[in-house]
């Protein structure tokens, strides 16, 4: 029996582990003040992509057994700022159940007065409340909450150990990238849902059909399909999107941000989807 639930997860996991090994190499070997700062800058975008894969893992775990999943989640937490089961509680058991109702959504984009938050306001506010909201959701799921708290304590202990060894490198190689990646993760939720106040799944998400974006994020751009069937493996989302496309408004397609927005126009739309892409705002 294979260790992985889906064979297509093998290469992504290998890349995550290589990225983590590089972080550890920089942490243990960097002696100049500037190189850890440079490393943070170089790693911001790739760790934003890894955040999407951490998200997928919280929906469909990559390994068949608990121990390798927990170990991978330690790596993910150092790369994305989202600890084991935090995303599962906040996002899977929270946002996915409530995103059609802005009075309940754990990642709601509306203020209390019903107006729309700005991007920075949304991202900073939800950074602050993300873990408390995950804990609140966990109160109704005590078994998951115990894992979340235990793994969170382990993560803090490991990060504390890194600070004890070399506080400067730990700050720039781990803690600050974790915070920035968490910000980017939350901003992505805003980008996929802002101003779509509707009870209809097909009209409640923006989609991104850019090939490069979907390659690097595990098809996160097929966001309507993801919300319609969030337990579906990332590799199967394009097929489901094709079935749902006729019900998705043409205005619900977007182009991705940096660096994909710099690519040539003909590279932005997947084959067979030119008409939808051309209608994207």
Write down how long the chain is.
281
Q: Write out pLDDT tens, residues 233-263.
A: 999 999 999 999 999 999 999 988 878 877 6
The reported pLDDT for the residue numbered 272 is: 40
CA distance 281 to 31: 47
Q: Which long-range contacts (CB under 8 A, 24 or more apart) does 249-253 make?
A: 249/202, 249/203, 250/276, 250/279, 250/280, 251/279, 251/281, 252/196, 252/203, 252/205, 252/206, 252/207, 252/224, 253/206, 253/207, 253/208, 253/209, 253/277, 253/279, 253/280, 253/281
Give the per-residue pLDDT at 2: 81
Calculate mean pLDDT across residues 68-74.
Answer: 98
pLDDT score at 1: 59
Average pLDDT value for residue range 7-34: 97
Task: Please report which confidence band the pLDDT of residue 277 belongs to, taking 50, 70 and 90 as the band edges.
Answer: very low
* Structure tokens that stand for 181 in this block: 């990646």
CA 203 vs CA 200, 245, 253: distances in Å: 6, 11, 11
Q: How much is the average pLDDT of 169-180? A: 98
Distance of CA 110 to the CA centre of its chain: 21
């Amino acid at each position: 029996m294979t260790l992985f639930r889906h064979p297509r997860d093998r290469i992504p996991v290998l890349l995550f582990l290589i990225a983590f090994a590089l972080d550890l190499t920089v942490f243990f070997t960097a002696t100049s003040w500037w190189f850890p700062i440079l490393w943070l800058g170089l790693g911001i975008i790739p760790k934003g992509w890894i955040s999407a894969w951490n998200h997928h893992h919280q929906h469909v775990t990559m390994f068949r057994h608990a121990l390798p999943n927990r170990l991978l989640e330690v790596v993910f937490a150092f790369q994305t700022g989202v600890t084991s089961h935090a995303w599962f509680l906040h996002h899977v058991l929270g946002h996915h159940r409530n995103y059609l109702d802005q009075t309940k959504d754990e990642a709601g984009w509306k203020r209390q007065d019903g107006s729309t938050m700005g991007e920075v306001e949304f991202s900073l506010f939800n950074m602050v409340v993300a873990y408390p909201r995950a804990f609140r959701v966990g109160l109704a799921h005590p078994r998951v909450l115990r894992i979340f708290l235990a793994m969170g304590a382990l993560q803090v202990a490991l990060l504390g150990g890194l600070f004890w060894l070399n506080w400067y490198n730990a700050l720039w190689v781990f803690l600050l990238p974790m915070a920035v990646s968490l910000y980017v993760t939350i901003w992505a939720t805003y980008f996929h849902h802002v101003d779509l106040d509707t009870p209809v799944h097909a009209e409640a998400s923006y989609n991104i059909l850019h090939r490069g974006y979907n390659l690097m994020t595990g098809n996160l751009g097929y966001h309507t399909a993801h919300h319609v069937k969030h337990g579906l493996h990332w590799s199967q989302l394009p097929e489901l999107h094709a079935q749902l496309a006729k019900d998705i408004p043409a205005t619900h397609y977007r182009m991705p941000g940096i660096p994909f927005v710099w690519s040539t126009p003909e590279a932005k739309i997947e084959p067979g989807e030119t008409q939808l892409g051309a209608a994207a705002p």
